[in-house]
Amino acid sequence: MAPRSQRRKHKKRPPVTPMVVIPPTEVSPEPLTLSKPNPSIDALGFISLDNNVPGLSQLILQKLNMKSYEEYKLVVDGGTPVSSFGFRCPQEMFQRLEDTFRFCASCKALPFGLSDHKVLRHCKRCRNVYYCDTECQRSDWPAHRKVCQVLRLVAVDRVMEWLLVTGDFVLPSGPWPWPAEEIQDWDAWFSLRGLQLEAALNAVVESHAMTMLWASLGRPRPEPEALHSSLKRLMTDALSRPLTLGLGLRTLALDVGKTGGITLHVVGASHVETFLIRSGDYDELGYMFPEHLGLRVIMVGVDVGTNLLQSSSPIPLEPGTIQLSGYKALYHDFWEEQIETGNLAHPDLVAAFHPGFHASPVLMEAWLPTLLLLRDYAIPTLITVYSQQELEASLQILVNLDTHIIACGANPFASLKPEQVYSNPNKQPVYSSAYYIMFLGSSPAN
């Protein structure tokens, strides 16, 4: 949205550029046609939309005023979109974004595939799943009833995320007044922020930006309690990655007081980690370890956004400094070019958020050199997954690779924001970084 101070009568408003983030998708186990040697989890996820709903990827591109996946990638990579991209007003933007979810959850029909007398209408309870007629809705109800309630939350969160993009919702921040060891989960973190958090939530709920958001959407505004809950879920989603890194540092007993600072690599980074990233997004990690002498966070992956592509300086960091940077490359290539040459120091911790190597032969092929590198160099490694099923599958792969599993289980700093599988809306929603695995070197048996 354009700043209100810039709006004038008789003057054309600048186009509105939306946040373009595709929710988690099911990656097909069938190899897809992608350019090698850089298989992209973003591309796999986008293409796999059509596996369950033929034509869905093209519908999304059409509604976002894009002609191709390459244009979509320009946006999520932080590049400059083509001149035709953008919307004339917030109302058009929100309608177009909502239209990308508009297909029949039962028969998979898209709007342009319907006969003249049919119209896709959403479920009145969750406002998040569509049907082409009452027959499809009735036949789908046994499956939909299991997720309808939580999908109501998904629909609200999808709207409220816009406040993070515009900067109208700023996360409470600042040094922790409690000892870090007392903050073991989100309940403790919410208590820690206390009155500061309550004041921040009230300010956002009562703001003009909130009023304009729901007016632009053309939907009834939820009650303040529902808005508060949504904002808290969005906070956990934004802070889950830095605090999960903190969990890894704490569990593996790594020395954050290392002279010159410590280095953390986020490997397989995609638009989820880098799109719209801000310099202060990892400040909470610093507050978790107030004694740290510098934290260098380097995002590495073929889908790293251009806004983060900058060289990480090998110069020791100032105490208390957090440096964010990114490299667009496969991790084992980055290792050869930057670590083995001595340009950058060895990492103290490597993390992969939802690498997905369990789901696709293409991804496993790309990840294998990195997993073997991490194992052979005995680099402390943290991996997160969406579900218990993914946890078990990923553990089996790592055991087969003879890695030494240090710890695994439910992540106390998992995102509390439910994520809907885009092309399969009645699949049970998942939560980012719901489970973690930590490994270090080879299994002692070998």
Higher pLDDT, 190 or 63: 190
CB atoms within 10 A of CB 277: 19
CA distances, 413 to each of 80, 101, 256, 341, 398 (Å): 34, 29, 20, 36, 23
Element (H, E) at 301: none
Higher pLDDT, 32 or 134: 134
The pLDDT of residue 310 is 66
CA distances, 248 to each of 251, 253, 439 (Å): 5, 8, 10
Residue range 329-347, pLDDT digits in tens: 999 999 999 999 999 999 9
Residue range 373-417, pLDDT digits in tens: 999 999 999 999 999 999 999 999 999 999 999 999 999 999 999
Higher pLDDT, 276 or 68: 68
The identity of residue 116, as a single letter, is D
Higher pLDDT, 62 or 143: 143
What is the set of domains in the chain, with CATH numbers? Answer: 241-442 (3.40.50.150)
pLDDT of 252 above 70:
yes
The pLDDT of residue 118 is 76
The identity of residue 330, as a single letter, is L
User: CA-based angle 330:299:438, to the nearest 5?
Assistant: 85
Average pLDDT, stretch 60-65?
80
**Entry pTM:** 0.85
The pLDDT of residue 40 is 62
How far is 72 from 85, CA to CA, in rounded Å? 10
Taking the alpha carbons at both ends of the chain, their separation in whole angstroms is 58
> Which residues, other chains included, contact 164 with Cβ-Cβ below 8 Å and sequence gap of 6+?
234, 238, 276
